């Protein structure tokens, strides 16, 4: 349902009934269908009311109300999944920065410190531009607006919890530091205390209940993935590349599925999988538990980065605030082989190998590794199949509250 703005307020513009919809209305539904539709309508209405209230009540510096009036594409054929993925990626880039800035502003406001609020205009503009690329009748616009509302509510609770966690120290200043990433530092914000101490904070918005670690999205599969998490030496890496039929890493990266084959080989060898030649990891068993413990301890380290940032996670879909990953709940040193399994890595779309791998503890996925090809402007060019990056994500814990 499309959004419109009148007298500064968001409202939902009615859509005229088409002949097809009129014909559907002539159908006499059964009682069970009527009941199901009524429940669904209540859910939709609740979502609409939430977004409307946030748009009215939010201060001028906040998101939905201050996103400029979007001029959506006219009603048209549904955008393909590939095109929507690109639009969604742009939107979520803006949403991530928006979460950082709004959390900083909420900390400044709740702590009542004398500091100008950060300007969220650039992140709001990025989200608005993404929304403008969707047709006005595309239902996915509502989902994205809903995510903005959830983040706006979540930062309030997140700020309260952060300030409570740092007491009795008093906050004196908030720095926004996303451009200071270096050497696997993770902080998006740095809280400066009156005592002179600092608290680095990594702000994340979850994707399918998973969040990337510090330097978790990298094209450097050798140094920042194979060596960092699986203790693969340079000589071992070169030997594996040669065994796959390539002379250099550059040659291997010409197709991301080649890199997926390398990642699978590293996991097989370093975790001691049996049988070693299993194409699908579903029935493979891990024999080197010490290698798994090393992997998990490294993942914990890089969750907060080398600057030991406190990681706060905002759910896009619910507005929940989380601090821990599933891995944080595990006593790594007591892990036994029978508790460890692997994510089934089945090839899709006729490909010779899968491009995503992962580990489970007690049947729950705790970490995934996704090998990705080039996207964005390259998605329709000859470079599309080239390797882009490998992304390491941790599953987050069960959502314990929403901030509504």
What percent of the chain is modeled with pLDDT above 70?
A: 75
Going by C-alpha positions, the residue among 104, 190, 149, 85 that lies closest to residue 315 is 149
pLDDT (0 to 100) of residue 354: 86
The pLDDT tens digits of the residues spanning 151-189 come to 999 999 999 999 999 999 999 999 999 866 667 788 999
Beta-carbon count within 10 A of 164 CB: 8
pLDDT (0 to 100) of residue 345: 74
pLDDT (0 to 100) of residue 31: 45
Q: Are 317 and 92 in contact (CB under 8 A)?
A: no
What percent of the chain is modeled with pLDDT above 90?
A: 60
Average pLDDT, the chain: 81
The SS3 call for residue 138 is coil
Residue 121 has pLDDT above 70, yes or no: yes
What average pLDDT does range 54-83 have in this prediction?
55
End-to-end C-alpha distance for the chain, whole angstroms: 23
Residue 27 has pLDDT above 50, yes or no: no
pLDDT (0 to 100) of residue 53: 45
Does residue 300 or residue 381 have the better pLDDT? Answer: 300
pLDDT (0 to 100) of residue 75: 52
pLDDT (0 to 100) of residue 237: 98
**Where residue 378 falls among pLDDT bands split at 50, 70, 90?**
low
The pLDDT tens digits of the residues spanning 194-235 come to 999 999 999 999 877 899 898 999 999 999 999 999 999 999
pLDDT (0 to 100) of residue 209: 86
Residue 10 has pLDDT above 80, yes or no: no
The helix (H) or strand (E) run that includes residue 61 is: none
- Number of residues written out for the chain: 404
Task: Give the C-alpha distances (Å, rounded to integers) separating 114 from 30, 105, 293.
Answer: 62, 11, 46
Determine the Cα–Cα distance for residues 275 and 283; give it in Å rounded to an integer: 8
pLDDT (0 to 100) of residue 80: 83
Q: Which two tokens stand for residue 177?
A: 């530091």
**Where residue 374 falls among pLDDT bands split at 50, 70, 90?**
confident
Residue 383 has pLDDT above 80, yes or no: no
The pLDDT tens digits of the residues spanning 350-370 come to 777 889 999 999 999 999 999
pLDDT (0 to 100) of residue 39: 44
What average pLDDT does range 102-122 have in this prediction?
97
Determine the Cα–Cα distance for residues 199 and 178; give it in Å rounded to an integer: 15
Residue 399 has pLDDT above 90, yes or no: no
The SS3 call for residue 310 is strand
What average pLDDT does range 115-126 have in this prediction?
96
Tokens 């071992």, residue located = 236
Residue 349 has pLDDT above 80, yes or no: no
pLDDT (0 to 100) of residue 279: 61
Residue 287 has pLDDT above 70, yes or no: yes
What average pLDDT does range 247-255 have in this prediction?
96
Between the CA atoms of 59, 62, 65 and 70, what dihedral angle is there, to the nearest 10 degrees?
Answer: 160
pLDDT (0 to 100) of residue 77: 60
Task: Give the C-alpha distances (Å, rounded to integers) separating 305 from 55, 140, 226, 235.
Answer: 35, 34, 17, 27
What average pLDDT does range 327-353 have in this prediction?
86
Determine the Cα–Cα distance for residues 243 and 97; give it in Å rounded to an integer: 42
């Amino acid at each position: 349902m499309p959004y419109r703005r009148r007298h500064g307020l968001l409202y939902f513009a009615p859509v005229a009934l088409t002949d097809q919809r009129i014909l559907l209305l002539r159908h006499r539904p059964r009682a069970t269908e009527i009941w199901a539709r009524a429940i669904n309508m209540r859910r939709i209405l609740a979502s609409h009311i939430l977004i409307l209230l946030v748009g009215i009540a939010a201060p001028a510096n906040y998101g939905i109300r201050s996103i400029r009036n979007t001029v959506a594409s006219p009603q048209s054929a549904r955008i393909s999944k590939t095109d929507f993925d690109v639009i969604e990626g742009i939107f979520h880039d803006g949403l991530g920065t928006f979460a950082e800035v709004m959390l900083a502003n909420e900390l400044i406001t709740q702590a009542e410190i004398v500091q100008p609020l950060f300007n969220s205009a650039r992140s709001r503009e990025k989200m608005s531009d993404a929304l403008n690329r969707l047709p006005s009748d595309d239902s996915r616009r509502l989902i994205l607006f809903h995510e903005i509302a959830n983040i706006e509510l979540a930062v309030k609770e997140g700020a309260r919890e952060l300030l409570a966690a740092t007491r009795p120290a008093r906050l004196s200043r908030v720095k926004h530091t996303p451009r200071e990433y270096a050497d696997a530092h993770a902080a998006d914000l740095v809280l400066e205390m009156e005592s002179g101490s600092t608290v680095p904070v990594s702000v994340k918005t979850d994707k399918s209940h998973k969040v990337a670690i510090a330097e978790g999205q990298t094209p450097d599969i050798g140094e920042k993935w194979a060596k960092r998490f699986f203790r693969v030496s340079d000589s071992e890496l070169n030997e594996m590349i040669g065994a796959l039929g390539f002379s250099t890493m550059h040659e291997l990266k010409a197709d991301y599925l080649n890199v997926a084959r390398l990642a699978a080989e590293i996991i097989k060898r370093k975790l001691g999988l049996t049988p070693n030649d299993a194409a699908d990891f579903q029935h493979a068993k891990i024999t080197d538990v010490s290698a798994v413990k090393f992997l998990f301890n490294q993942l914990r380290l890089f969750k907060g980065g080398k600057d030991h940032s406190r990681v706060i996670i905002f759910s896009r879909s619910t507005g929940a605030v989380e601090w821990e990953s599933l891995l944080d709940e595990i006593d790594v040193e007591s892990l036994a082989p029978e508790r460890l399994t692997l994510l089934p890595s089945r090839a899709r779309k006729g490909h010779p190998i899968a491009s995503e791998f992962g580990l489970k503890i007690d049947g729950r996925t705790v970490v995934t590794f996704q090998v990705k090809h080039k996207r964005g402007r390259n998605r329709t060019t000859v470079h599309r199949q080239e390797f882009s990056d490998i992304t390491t994500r941790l599953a987050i814990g069960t959502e314990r509250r929403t901030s509504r």
